Structure 1
Amino acid sequence: MRTFLTALSLSVLLFSCSRSTETSAGGLSPQDALKTFQLPEGYKIELVAAEPLISDPVAMEVDEQGNMYIVELHGYPLDTAGSGVIKLLVDTNGDGMPDKSTVFADHLKLPTGIMRWKNGFMVVDVPDVLYLEDTDHDGKADIRKVMLTGVALTNPQHIANTPIFGLDNWIYLAHMGSITPKVSMMFSDSGHIVRYADDTTAPQLPRNADGRNIRFNPDTYTLEMCSGETQYGHTFDNWGHHFCVENADHIFVEAIAAKYLQQNPDLLISDASDYISDHGDASKVFPITTNPENQLLTDVGVITSACGITWYNGGLFPDSFNNVSLTCEPQSNIIHADKVTQKGASFNAARVYEDKEFLASTDAWFRPVMMYVGPDGALYVMDYYRQIIEHPEWLSDSVINSGALYNGHDKGRIYRVTPANAAKMNWCSKLNLAGASTEQLVQYLTSGNIWWRRNAQRLLMDRKDPQTAALLLKLIDTTKSATAIVHALWSLEGMHIIDIATLNMQLHNPVAGVRENAVKIAELHLKEVPQLEKELLALQDDTDAKVRYQMLCTLGDIHDAPAESAKQKILMKDIDDKWLQVAALAAAHGKEYDLLKNSIAAISLKPSDGKALFFANCAGVIGLSQRIDDIKNVIALATKNNTSTADWWQSACLKGLSTALPVKGLPSTNFEAERSLLLSKFDVGTTPLLRTAAIELLMLLGAPQNNSWAAAIAQAKAVAADGSANINYRKDAVRLLSLDKEAGNAVLFDQIISNVANDETLIQTAIKAFNNVSPDSCSNCIVRNWKSLGYNARETAMQAFLSSTGNTKILLSAIQQKQILPTAISWPHMVDLMNNDDAFIRNRSRDLLAAGISSREETIKKYQTALTLKADTSKGLLVFKTICATCHNINGRYGHSFGPDLGTVRNRDAGSIMTDILNPNRSIATTYDLWIVTKKNGEKFSGIISAQTPASVTLNNIGGLQTTVARSDIRSMEISQTSAMPIGLETSINQQQMSDLLGFIKNSR
């Protein structure tokens, strides 16, 4: 489902308040809809329930008696008046199919999930998680208790949802960041402190849990944030790995838990999730819809509304469906299937079917939004069955005013998908899991169906029968089921009766998933049972990468010599694995320099991108720690000697420091000796890789105050002015001169920039150096030489112009005097100028750059001829690179991911694409809001939030650059009131170029 965008008209809000309760016309009858489905050979689909029994289903749960509880979300997209209900479906005629429905609970605002708990249910109805129970057995909940509260009541597509009882006995809640839309106040809630409603002494989470998934255990009043986020739906595999979903990203995994990241507050990673699809985000799909309901701004032919992700572990499907994850894509009327396999410490998700989907319908009203693995192992599909699934923000005014926004609100279906030879459904109201003995519950842990295993474990937790421990230990000793062993271990752990001897044995189980979970449980007992460490250390040579990865995470809080040796050994074996690197750094708080030094000594000197990334990140964490001695040691280590076999890791270390040190500000200390070491690398005999890295770090630390500096500057002047010198050496010389404010250097920089024969990269370097030495003179030099500057040099020049208020005013003056034409200012820089924090610059820029901008309606009308012109896609690529590439890419190529990937809109109508280009304020997705982050020291950053972790926020900036800011350094965060892409692009593109651009986008593959 698409995200909220900009302000809606009053008519939309009035429409939402007057939603008709009459039966809506259109769509197909349940029986006719059943004929529209296409499944792979060997599968069948059956209707389980439909209107009038149910409508608007978005989630379901089955209790121990086999009764079905259906969450009905009637209020989507705009109604929060309390129309949501929970329906109870039962069988009254003995055929095992539901034939009667009653209202179990009503007056819910926007209910989005349900989970069996104790004798009742956990129901998500933001801002609360409720506990509902029927104590008098009349089919209606008479207990309604708020368990958790504080999550944001915001955009219905982003609110908390889908509670799941996890393998580790925690309840997991899907959750995303608060979306503050530019629309009705009913959805402007940014959340509150997330807490237990009935215990003020229990743990609490920050406002709206920082927009991350939540886990909690009401029995122990524990409450935590996870490291990742998800939109609607999440799921777990048999071993407890957490898979998530969000719009175009149909499958990703929480790669490292929050508790491990919290071990090292200096580790600022941009994202704790791994996006594992090998066919990318917004990937191509294969709908068969006959007359699709594609609204004005809907991306077509790609995943755009991914939700309801479900790991199939029901045991009924063929073995080929083991390790398959399914994702609903309601906009395309399909369910997509991925085969998930291990890839190092993470996973890879590949299409199960290359040119078709697992389930597809020709009916445009089929809207699968959630799935459920039932007691029979069948896959139950909740069909929201609406004509329109998009939020009104993505609709044309004619559709909004047509009265069709809620068409289908009185309809809804649940389907059952099984192998073709499976027996019919025959379990509704016929189960008696509640009546099972403890021994029977333990045996249910051996089931191939997650429904039985999960519910049996939950009931064992509730009963706490004294017999349970012996029965579980016997099961572990005798069963051949690895999943049964894992459930049994976590059941023992949950009841606080884990047997250490048994745990030790399972650390050596032949199945890697069992060993991995045994390591997690052992971690919880290391303090009380220190001898467990010895058993864990025996796994440092484990054959499975995920077991080694978990070992590295688990050993993070142990710092004795054997543990440190084991962590180093695991890292060395898997150093090219990104997540092993993260785990190693998380585990090394305060000892990062030792880790760096030992790694350099232990690894082969053969370079690799993975090793270089590790050394850069390790040095970066040291820089963020601001431990002066360690920073000095890194510089000494990286400048010691210089050979072509060592410069790759030496330069990586220095680059890591250069990236990290500005984040928290340079430490106030004397780096005199280190400056001299770095300066010593300015020599023709130093390899270019190391010399450049050394000079760039020296530019941060400043010039040394000794006699060597004068000699180096004299040498740098000679090299910079020598047209016959090596170009890399000349650039390093110019960089060095940027530290010297002597007037003669400004003259030299001016000469380099003014000489059109010079290499463009040298000119770019000179612009940066000149701007550092004398900003005004640099700006005036750029103005004089503007016409002769190449494309890349102009980009660097614009960065100089925008680096200070004075420079920007010189640019505006040059535009006013026509020394620089407005058409020469690239679109992204027009964005910067017209959104500038300085009111004078912002207003002056709009006067100068938007002088020729007409009303949006007039402009769109004027450009209609572009839709009739013959497009040249090769020229369209050039337009894209010139106008769009600084902010967008297309299918992951040609540009930067500041804004949406324009490859995802290729199947849309060319006219609607052009409308978005010319009137971008009409369709700003919340995931592309421009955020202003202010640090405590007053420094400001702007960009699109690309990731958040427990310790940091990462902003994507125009040009593909990223800025990661420590949460501890943030004073405030707010969404800019202006779009990151203001109007006026037509000043840089004519009708033929628009036609070429549209042709290129439409034909991109």
Structure 2
Amino acid sequence: MLTTITRFGLFLVILLATGISTRGQNPLSVSPPEKNNSPQAELASFSIDSRLQINLFADESMGIANPICFRWDPRGRLWVLCTWAYPQLKPGTKPDDKLIILEDTDGDGKADKISTFADGLNMPTGFALGHGGAYIGNGRDLIHVKDTNGNGKADQKEILFTGFGTGDTHQNINSFAWTPGGELLFCQGLHCFSRVETPWGIRRLDEHGSWRLRPLRRQLHSYRRTSGGGNPWGFAFGDWGEPFIKSNGGEVSELLPSMVHTDHIAGGYWGGAMQIGATKIKSMAINIVDSPHLPKDLQGDFLIAGYFARNIARLRPSTDGAGHKLTTLAPLLTSSHNAFRPVDLNIGPDGALYVADWFNPIIGHYQASLRHPNRDKDHGRIWRISAKGNPLLKPPSLAKMKVLELCEQLGAPLRRTRKLAKLRLMDLPKLEVITAIRKWINGLKPDDPRLEHKLFEAIGVFESHEVVNLSLLKRLLAAKDHRARAYATRVIGRWHHLLEDPLALLENSATDKHSRVRLEAIVSASDIREADSIIIAAQATDGPKDRFIDFAFTQAVHALATHWKPALMAGNLQFNQSSHLLRVVSTIGGNEVAEVIRQKLASEKLKPEEITKLIALLAGIGNSADAGLALKIGIDKPEVLLALTDSARVRSLKAPADAVRLISPALGSQDNTIRIEAIRLSGLWALNEHSATITSIATDRPENLPLRLAAIKALGSMSDPAIIKTLEKLTALETPPTIRAGAIGSLATRDVKRAASLTASLLTKVEAKEIEPLLSALLQRTRGTDELVATLATETISADTAKLMLRWLNSTGRNEPKLTELLNKIIGLKVTTQKYNPDYVAELAKEALNEGDAVNGKKIFQLPIISCTACHAVDGIEGTVTTLKGPNLTALAAGLPVDIIIESVLWPDRQIKEGYQATTVLTKDGRVLNGFAHSEDKTVLRIRDLTTGKIATLQIDNIKQRTKGVTVMPPQLTANLTRTELRDLIKYLSTLETVKKPKS
């Protein structure tokens, strides 16, 4: 399930190359059909935990094909959503995808009855049963269909909402799941841009994220970047309603911290900050095992449908602060059949695990034509995994139960029983249900060990009917089990519009001893769009914090900003502690709150540590006058000077009027941390009056090395003509290598031509390991590359030096055509650019697959001259890069056919993996940065610089030029390989397909 290619030319190429990419290779994304596609052949391909057995529950002989997902109903029937149109409807054809019902009437573990509930659907990607029918994601529409005359087929269709994005078929709204409180969650993918009209206004969601629907209110909420990958697909809930989300990559994420409605994106573009574990390669859907029929050690484990790896992955959860973490275990099942595509999995009424098998040798969108003839439209299977020797479960007859009996099932030991009982209760008349659930609660025994859990289930029934039960809510808020308190805290946010004082109810949760409850308090407070909600959120951060609480708090501060900022400005917002104000304002910043800090500093009696924090905060967001105040009060505080340095660098904060005098004491401080920041600040503000002092530090050999480096960098911003001579002297061979490189970088800001000349001279004299820092220092300046090329045209360097330089260029992802051409010439290589040719690709693919030597190809992969391991990791190869500059290639061939692998190697700009499009930035102050955009807002771009490996923060106003979407893999990287070497390298890459077997 990858993104549909958008370049028509490449689409045609793939059409032409189809025959090549599907012969001689067995990638997990695109492969030729098996000779035997019978259920028996597929059954024989399974490797499964020795305690388990598998049988076919249903297949295409009954009329199902390409099942996307399935759900059980209270009658024990399996509803399966099937599509024949996917992934693209043929022109002139009418869509007729179906929602099918399967039944096992004789209990033998095989379906024997089939009926169609709804047809005429157009590539539906998800559904949920509820409110007398089914909610279905049908392209851009969310529809509800129901059977009004009792004949078992939908005869009423209502379009509830329209306007959901349809950027790519598999990214359409999907993964419908009911929360414990009767809210409907679903997802959308990376290229979807939704604009949905609701009774509550237009609801928007750009790119990947999740939706929450409260059906009775027709109220939609959207949440951005809720999963760690670009295409979320799958939800699961723990026993106490803990929500988890799956991407269609490997990632599993904690959902709760992301359920804060804001446009702010925390944790980077892909939103992976809340990841708690992952499968090795792409997978989807989650089922948390809760079935006494299955082995005991499986209980509570996360089972995941590995549609790429053709397996059922298994991960084990454990608590991690306010959230969780997952440990990867051996898969439950693997298959060698190339069409086995598990896409959904659920525990059935008999306690067995049921698996929806999409059954298709092709699943990639851009690896093969959307209308490739090998895309299977005829097959689809449901498999049933049971435990050998263990008795099957006998489910209660939920469909026949009266309301009070259904309420009693809320105390059942199995999660699926409780869930289906609530599904029925949600469908029944409100008055009847609320009367019965109150009666059931009143009959519960105080000494029942599961009392609090039963109350948790009960409040979900009230939620699903939008009925407030304040006494039950307060009872759960005071529960002994923190999980009950946590869920009750969530309910406050849901019911806030119906509660007299929801923030008062949240106060205890915000100070709860358990971090999970405090996390819920932050998220719940974000739902209450009032200024004082931020007080609760800030209070909840007082206890032990972790990444989950920090993430949710950051999002809540942004979500509530339009409420708390005006109140703060008007003096109508009073935090319980000064530290809370600091925490909030330091999270979001902004000049508009600077005045509040000034007033607080002037009017309140503060502790010394509070003054320092406020001054540092003011230094981070204030103006030049504030910088002067910060220097007066905090000149001896490292955190204050650091805040000023960051402001000067990122915000271009100007020096205060008396900066030269104010900063002088810090330059002579006994604390080197203070001295370093004072030196940096002097350089950023170009305080030329201090150039003599800073020059003496830079040239003083006994001085601390970081101190000298800071001084050398600061000199590059000062105008004293003598500084150039000083910097030239510091490039001498007798100086330490780091000082030498620092001097080159600083000199390049003043005289890049001279810096290039000195660099060229040094390249022939220094040790090999010293070449990289010299190049890094020079080439990160505007015109650094051009001046070096011009100098090397007349200077002589050895072929070995040129090789080392070329290797560094390749390893840092720098595309410098002129310098590369010159270095190749010095080495003695005649490099010609191979123009793209599909016939050449076909020929090389065939040769690599039939004649290539993977063992030799692995050796070539590790050759320093092509620098593969400088950017790409492969499990089992020592010395591969730990900070990735390119995708992990361990399972490369699992997702890409050989022709696409060849394109990626020879013409890297044709195949750039999502998330690895580089950004090159030229700043107005002469810096050149090349790397991956980490995050961006209206004022700041954060980029992971591939040269330094660090996150660089750039003011948008300081960007002169920006190039997006380029590859960091240099062209012509393999141009010097022989045909045999290239063939062997491609062969090796085509074998990188890692799938573990289950333990026997």
TM class, shorter-chain normalised?
A: 0.7 to 0.9
Name the SS for the 2:831 alignment partner. Answer: coil
Match for residue 589 of structure 2 among 603, 616, 622: 622
Shift of 1:326: 0.9
Cα-to-partner distance string for 1:291-347 (whole Å, 9 max, x where unaligned) = xxxxxxxxxxxx322112222345654554343211111333210111111100221
Q: Distance in 1 between matches of 2:354 and 2:953?
A: 42
Aligned equivalents of 2:961, 2:81: Cα separation in 1:
38
Q: Distance in 2 between matches of 1:168 and 1:964?
A: 42
CA distance in 1, matches of 2:200, 2:700: 70
CA distance in 2, matches of 1:654, 1:599: 25
Mapping of residues 255-654 of structure 1, within 5 Å: 256-259=257-260, 272-274=271-273, 276=275, 281=278, 303-313=280-290, 316-317=293-294, 320-351=297-328, 353=329, 356-386=330-360, 388-391=361-364, 393-394=366-367, 405-406=374-375, 408-421=376-389, 433=399, 436-476=401-441, 478=444, 480=450, 482-524=452-494, 529=499, 533=503, 536-539=506-509, 542-554=512-524, 571-575=541-545, 577-586=546-555, 621-622=588-589, 627=594, 631-632=617-618, 650-651=638-639
CA contact (8 A) 2:118 2:154 kept: yes
Asked if the contact 2:74/2:421 (under 8 Å) is kept, the reply is: no
Determine if contact 2:904/2:911 at 8 Å carries over to the other structure: yes
State how far apart, in whole Å, the 1-side matches of 2:105 and 2:868 are.
Answer: 67
Aligned AA (2:670): G
- Report how far residue 261 of structure 1 moved: 5.9
- Change over 3 Å in CA distance of 1:939–1:72 after alignment to 2: farther
Pick from 195, 217, 232 the counterpart of residue 220 of structure 1.
217
Cα distance, 1:993–1:125 mapped onto 2, change above 3 Å: same
Partner of 2:912: helix, strand, or coil? coil
Report how far residue 516 of structure 1 moved.
0.4
User: What is the deviation of 1:382?
Assistant: 0.5
- The residue correspondences of 1:971-990 to structure 2 (distance < 5 A) are 976=965, 979-986=967-974
Could you say if the C-alpha distance between residues 91 and 722 of structure 1 is closer, same or farther in structure 2, counting changes exceeding 3 Å? closer
Q: Which letter does structure 2 place at the counterpart of 1:220?
A: R
Query: CA 1:773–1:483 in 2, change beyond 3 Å: closer, same or farther?
Result: farther
Local SS of the residue matching 1:691: helix
Residue of structure 1 in register with 2:65 after alignment = 55
Report the alpha carbon displacement of residue 195 of structure 1 after superposing the two structures with TM. 0.5
Alignment CA distance shift 1:570-1:217 (3 Å): closer
Does the 8 Å CA contact 1:695/1:732 hold for their aligned counterparts? yes
The residue that corresponds to 1:170 in the other structure is 183
CA distance in 1, matches of 2:591, 2:821: 38
Post-superposition Cα deviations, 1:408-435, rounded to whole Å, max 9, x if no partner, equal: 43122112223335556988xx9663x5
Aligned to 2:609: none
Is the Cα–Cα contact under 8 Å of residues 540 and 566 in structure 1 kept in the other structure?
A: yes
Partner amino acid, structure 2, of 1:622 = G
Establish whether residue 37 from structure 1 lines up as the match of residue 46 from structure 2. Answer: yes
In structure 2, give the amino acid aligned to 1:917: V
Q: Which residue of 2 aligns with 1:240?
A: 241
Cα distance in 2, alignment partners of residues 76 and 171 from structure 1:
24
Does the alignment pair 1:72 with 2:82? yes
Stretches of structure 1 that go unaligned for 5 or more consecutive residues are 17-22, 179-190, 284-302, 603-613
Tell me how far apart the structure 2 counterparts of residues 64 and 972 of structure 1 sit (CA, whole Å): 60
- 2:24 — aligned with what? none
> Given the superposition, is the C-alpha separation of residues 780 and 24 from structure 1 closer, same or farther in structure 2, using an over 3 Å criterion?
closer
Residue 928 of structure 1 corresponds to which residue in structure 2? 916
2:738 to 761, 764, 782: 761
d(CA) in 1 for partners of 2:981 and 2:666?
A: 49
- Distance across 1 between alignment mates of 2:54 and 2:962: 49
Deviation at 1:49, TM superposition (A): 0.7
- AA aligned opposite 1:497: V
Q: Are positions 1:117 and 2:127 aligned together?
A: no
Show the counterpart of 1:294: none
Q: Answer whether contact 2:126 2:136 (CA < 8 A) is retained.
A: yes
Which amino acid in 1 is paired with 2:409? Y
Q: How does 1:83-94 map to 2 (within 5 A)?
A: 85-91=97-103
Q: How big is each residue's C-alpha offset from its partner over 1:243-297, in whole Å with a ceiling of 9 and x where there is no partner?
A: 23335524222351342767xx69776665445556xx5x6xxxxxxxxxxxxxx
Q: 1:454 to 1:130 in 2, by over 3 A?
A: same
Q: Report the Cα offset of residue 147 of structure 1.
A: 2.9
Cα distance in 2, alignment partners of residues 624 and 44 from structure 1 = 65
**Whole-angstrom CA distance in 2 between matches of 1:481 and 1:734:** 69
- Alpha-carbon offset, residue 349 of structure 1: 0.5
Q: Tell me what 1:147 maps to.
A: 160
| Structure 1: distance between partners of 2:945 and 2:907 | 21
- State the 1:115 CA deviation: 0.9
The CA distance in 2 between the partners of 1:14 and 1:250, in whole Å, is 34
Q: Tell me the alpha carbon deviations over residues 340-379 of structure 1, each in whole angstroms, 9 at most, x when there is no partner.
A: 111002211013x4xx321233434322111123344432
| Contact 1:684 1:729 (C-alpha < 8 Å) held by counterparts | no
SS in 2 for 1:10: helix
Paired residue secondary structure (1:986): coil
Task: Check conservation: 2:724, 2:750, Cα contact below 8 A.
Answer: yes
Structure 2 residues without counterparts, runs of 5 or longer: 19-31, 599-613, 621-626
| Alignment correspondent of 1:129 | 142
TM-superposed CA distance for 1:394, in Å, is 3.7
Sort the Cα spacing of 1:659 and 1:807 in 2 relative to 1 into closer, same or farther, 3 A. Answer: same
- Letter aligned with residue 330 of structure 1: Y
Aligned residues: 915
The DSSP-based 3-state class of the residue aligned with 1:924 is coil
Post-superposition CA distance 1:14-58 (Å, at most 9, x none): 999xxxxxx987334324543543433543333211121112112
Query: 1:194 aligns to what SS in structure 2?
Result: strand
Letter of the 2:698 counterpart: A
Residues 416/872 of structure 1: CA separation in 2 closer, same or farther (3 Å cut):
closer
> For 1:681-740, what per-residue CA distance to the aligned partner results, in whole angstroms no more than 9, with x for missing partners?
33362234x43345445544x145xxxx62x32111122223343322211221332331
Which amino acid in structure 2 is aligned with residue 61 of structure 1?
A: R
Aligned residue type for 2:745: K
Q: Any conservation in 1 of the 2:855–2:988 contact (CA below 8 Å)?
A: no
Structure 1 residue 746, shift from structure 2 partner: 1.8
Contact 2:304 2:313 in 1 (8 A): yes
Does structure 1 retain, via aligned residues, the 8 Å contact 2:128–2:177?
yes
Alignment CA distance shift 1:587-1:192 (3 Å): closer
CA distance in structure 2 between the partners assigned to 1:765 and 1:391 by the alignment:
48
d(CA) in 2 for partners of 1:633 and 1:736? 20
CA deviations 1:803-838 (Å, max 9, x no partner) are 5654443244346657678756546857999879xx
Do the aligned residues in 2 keep the contact of 1:877 with 1:997 (CA within 8 Å)? Answer: no
Match of 1:498, SS?
A: coil
* Counterpart residue identity of residue 324, structure 1: D
In 2, are the aligned partners of 1:869 and 1:992 still within 8 Å (CA)?
Answer: no
> Percent identity among equivalent residues?
17
Q: CA deviation at 1:552?
A: 4.4
1:854 pairs, out of 833, 838, 848, with: 833
Pairwise CA distance, 1:506: 0.9
TM-score (norm 2): 0.76
Residues in 2 aligned to 1:618 and 1:728: alpha-carbon distance in whole angstroms: 32
The farther-off stretch of 333-342 and 885-894 is 885-894
Offset of residue 124 of structure 1: 1.9
Query: 3-state DSSP class of the match of 2:201?
Result: coil
TM-superposition CA deviations, 1:768-803 (whole Å, max 9, x none): 322333444434443444434666765555556555
Q: Contact 2:305–2:342 (CA<8 Å) still a contact in 1? A: yes
Preserved CA contact (<8 Å) 1:124 1:161: yes
Report the equivalent of 1:10: 12
Q: For residues 824-865 of structure 1, what are the alpha-carbon distances to aligned partners after superposition, in whole Å with 9 as ceiling and x for unaligned?
A: 6546857999879xx999999999999723326789969989
